[in-house]
Every structure is written in structure tokens, then in C-alpha cells.
């Protein structure tokens, strides 16, 4: 794993999300609790809604376009046949780090 420091935890609003541009497209970084964060694809598999704009509740997010609800632990959509990719993330001394493998510019040749 190659951990990349992306932001301070307080840069993400509590029960909110921010967006991260990566080689795999936009990744949404969710803050579900004081020190609880998740990362997943920003794109809803249904109609492409931006999940970083959804309402964050418990450990889930609701897509702002048509209310698909995703469990951020697994990326699985509730009651629907679809899921989103999730990415390892950790919090260290108030900073949020993401595993950059595959996400950053040019992956190792």
C-alpha cells in the first residue's frame, strides 16, 4: 500500500463528503463520524449521480438523484442489484490518508 495524505479530517464536513480526483475517476470521501471516514466511487451505478452530494447517515450514503442507498463498508446498494468500489482509507493524527495504489497519476510501470 502507498498511503497518500489527502486532507485534514476537518476539511470534510461531519455527515458530509468531499470529492477526490483520481486516475480511476472521482472518488468520494465521506465523514460519517467525528473520526470515521470512508472512500468509494463518486459515481452511482444507476444513473451516474454524484454520491459525494448525497445525504450521509449512519455508515451509508443516499444518492442525490434517485435515492439509492449504499453501505459504505461494502459498497453494496440496499435492495438493488449494484455496488460501488470502495477504497482503503485511514485517519492518522487528524489527517486522512488514502491507499494510492491504482489511484494516482501514473501507476508503477
Partner 1 sequence: MTQKLVIIGAGMASGRVIEHLVEEAPGAYDITLFNAEPRGNYNRIMLSPVLSGDKTYDEIVTHDAAWYAAQGITCRFGEHVVGIDRDRKIVEGEKGQVPYDKLIIATGSAPFIIPVQGKDLPGVITYRDLDDTNAMIDAARTGGKAVVIGGGLLGLEAAAGLAERGMEVTVLHLMGHLMERQLDEAAGYLLRRDLEKRGITIKTRASTAAILGESQVEGVLLEDNTGLEADLVVMAVGIRPETRLANDAGLEVARGIEVNAQMQTSDPDIYAVGECVEFDGHLFGLVAPLYDQARVLAHGLMDQPDAFVVKDIATKLKVTGCDLFSAGDFAEGATREDIIFRDPARGVYKRLVIEDDRLVGAVMYGDTADGTWFFGLIKEGTDIDGMRDTLIFGPAYQGGDAADPLSAVAALSRDAEICGCNGICKGTIVDAIAHGATELGAVRAQTKASASCGTCTGLVEQLLQVTLGDDFHAPAAQPVCGCCDLPHEDLRRLIKSQELKSQEAVWQELGWKTRNGCHICRPAVNFYLLADWPMEYRDDPQSRFVNERKHANIQKDGTFSVVPRMWGGITNPRELRAIADAAEKYNVPTVKVTGGQRIDLLGVTGEDLPAIWADLNKAGLVSGHAYSKGLRTVKTCVGTDHCRFGTQDSTGLGIKLEQILWGSWTPHKVKLAVSGCPRNCAEATCKDVGIICVDSGYQLGVAGAAGMDLKETQRLADVRTEQEAIDLTIAFIQLYRENARYLDRPYRWVEKVGLDWVKARVVDDPEERARLIAAFDLSQSIYRRDPWAEHAQQAERFQPLADLTLEAAE
5 close to 104: Cβ distance less than 8 angstroms? no
Binding mask 71-100 for partner 1 (x = CB under 8 A): -xx---------------x--------x-x
Residues 6+ apart with CB under 8 A from 5: 95, 96, 97
Written as nine digits, the cell of 49 is 449521480
- The nearer residue to partner 1, 48 or 82, going by C-beta atoms, is 48
- Smallest distance, Å, CB 20 to partner 1? 5
Residue 48 engages partner 1 in binding (rule: CB under 8 A): yes
User: Binding partner 1 by CB under 8 A: which of 79, 93, 94, 108?
Assistant: 108
Instruction: Give the number of C-alpha atoms closer than 13 A to the C-alpha of residue 88, restricted to the C-beta side.
Output: 8
- The nearer residue to partner 1, 8 or 82, going by C-beta atoms, is 8
Written as nine digits, the cell of 103 is 489511484
Cα separation, 31 vs 15, in Å, equals 6
Question: Which parts of this chain interact with partner 1 (CB under 8 A)?
Answer: 4, 6-7, 11-16, 18-23, 26, 29, 32-38, 47-50, 53-60, 62, 64-65, 67, 69, 72-73, 89, 98, 100, 103-108
Amino acid at each position: 500500500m502507498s498511503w497518500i495524505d489527502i486532507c485534514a479530517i476537518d476539511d470534510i464536513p461531519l455527515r458530509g463528503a468531499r470529492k477526490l480526483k483520481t486516475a480511476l475517476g472521482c472518488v468520494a470521501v465521506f465523514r460519517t463520524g467525528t473520526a470515521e471516514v470512508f472512500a468509494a466511487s463518486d459515481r452511482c451505478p444507476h444513473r451516474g449521480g454524484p454520491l459525494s452530494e448525497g445525504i450521509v447517515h449512519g455508515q451509508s450514503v443516499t444518492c442525490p438523484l434517485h435515492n439509492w442507498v449504499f453501505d459504505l463498508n461494502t459498497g453494496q446498494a440496499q435492495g438493488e442489484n449494484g455496488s460501488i468500489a470502495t477504497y482503503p482509507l485511514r485517519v492518522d493524527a487528524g489527517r486522512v490518508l488514502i491507499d494510492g495504489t491504482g489511484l494516482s497519476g501514473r501507476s508503477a510501470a
